[in-house]
């Protein structure tokens, strides 16, 4: 409210100064003909100024702000995959009986273009996940996600992620899985129904992880070739992946 009041006062001052200078012009030159010529000319150009400032410059500044926010957001997403996302992807792939199908499809990311990444994102939506989660693996996931909880909570507090709905959905899916696992103490005595429920929670996180990983790698391909190179060499869907560069 105070800010709006300040703007009104500032506008009134500018308008008053304009009137004062027009009056001064008339008193000095006594030429209303030219005064009105200049006034109408200035008023006509004001519409052009509005066009330039509001439609062109404003859009350019908005685009730059969005690009800056997107870069910051992708930095956060990159940290997520380095810290938790890639290990979780590898774990899910190792539990997926149908992993060979998707691994074969995602091994050649270094040769893709933008449209290829989009096409693969559509394909993985229809991918048939066949996760098998034995009790010992569920317990291992519980330990892993518990160790990453502070890190994941810090990610949710990052304002840049508010603009990225799909990544936020991924974080919520992982949090839900972590919470479900935390409420179980004896994984050896799980009923079949309970084990299916946990497996479905993991499938949800797995599908979102793949989609976000593809989106992130595509961003690296376009903006950071050196980071893209590392992402290709450490592809979580490649069993023989290694950061070491081979001859």
Q: Which domain holds residue 101?
A: 72-233
Q: Does one domain contain both 37 and 158?
A: no
Residue 109 lies in a domain: yes
Q: Are residues 25 and 77 in the same domain?
A: no
Cα 30–chain centre separation = 63
In whole angstroms, give the CA distance from residue 176 to residue 19: 64
| Rg of the chain taking only CA atoms, in angstroms | 29
**Which of 181, 89, 176 minimizes the C-alpha distance to 143?**
181
- Domain contains 111: yes
225 in any annotated domain = yes
Task: Among 36, 60, 84, identify where a domain stops.
Answer: 60
The answer to whether residues 128 and 205 belong to one domain is yes
**Burial (CB count within 10 angstroms: exposed 0-12, middle 13-18, buried 19+), residue 77:** buried
- In this structure, are residues 174 and 83 in contact, taking their beta carbons and an 8 Å threshold? no
Element (H, E) at 10: helix 2-29
Looking at the fold, whether 138 and 225 belong to one and the same domain comes out as yes
Tokens of 151: 């890190």
**For the chain, what's the residue count?**
247
Domain check: are 145 and 171 in the same one?
yes
Q: Is residue 245 part of a domain?
A: no
Q: Do 48 and 86 fall into the same domain?
A: no
Whether residue 242 lies inside any domain: the answer is: no
pLDDT in tens, the chain (247 residues): 566 777 788 778 877 877 777 677 667 767 676 667 776 767 766 777 777 767 777 677 776 777 677 777 888 888 899 899 989 998 888 888 877 777 777 878 888 888 888 888 888 877 888 888 888 999 999 999 999 999 988 888 877 776 678 888 999 999 999 999 999 989 888 898 998 899 999 999 999 999 999 999 998 898 888 888 888 888 888 777 777 777 6
My answer on whether 90 and 177 are in the same domain is yes
Pair 219, 114 in one domain: yes
Number of domains in the chain: 2
């Amino acid at each position: 409210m105070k800010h709006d009041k300040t703007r009104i006062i500032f506008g009134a001052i500018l308008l008053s100064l304009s009137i004062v200078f027009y009056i001064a012009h008339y008193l000095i030159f006594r030429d209303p003909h030219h005064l009105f010529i200049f006034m109408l000319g200035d008023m006509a150009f004001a519409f052009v100024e509005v066009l330039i400032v509001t439609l062109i410059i404003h859009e350019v500044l908005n685009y730059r702000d969005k690009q800056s926010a997107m870069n910051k957001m992708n930095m956060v997403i990159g940290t997520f995959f380095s810290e938790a996302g890639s290990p979780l992807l590898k774990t899910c792939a190792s539990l997926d009986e149908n992993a060979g199908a998707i691994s074969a499809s995602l091994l050649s990311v270094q040769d893709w273009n933008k449209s290829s990444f989009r096409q693969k994102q559509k394909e993985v939506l229809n991918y048939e996940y066949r996760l098998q989660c034995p009790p010992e693996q569920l317990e291992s996931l519980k330990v892993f996600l518990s160790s990453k909880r502070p890190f994941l909570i810090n990610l949710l507090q990052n304002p840049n992620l508010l603009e990225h709905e799909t990544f936020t959905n991924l974080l919520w899916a992982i949090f839900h899985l972590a919470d479900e696992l935390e409420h179980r103490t004896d994984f050896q005595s799980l009923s079949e129904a309970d084990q299916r429920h946990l497996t479905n929670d993991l499938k949800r996180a797995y599908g979102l992880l793949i989609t976000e990983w593809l989106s992130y790698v595509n961003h690296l391909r376009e903006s950071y070739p050196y980071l893209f190179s590392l992402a290709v060499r450490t592809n979580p869907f490649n069993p023989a992946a290694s950061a070491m560069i081979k001859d």
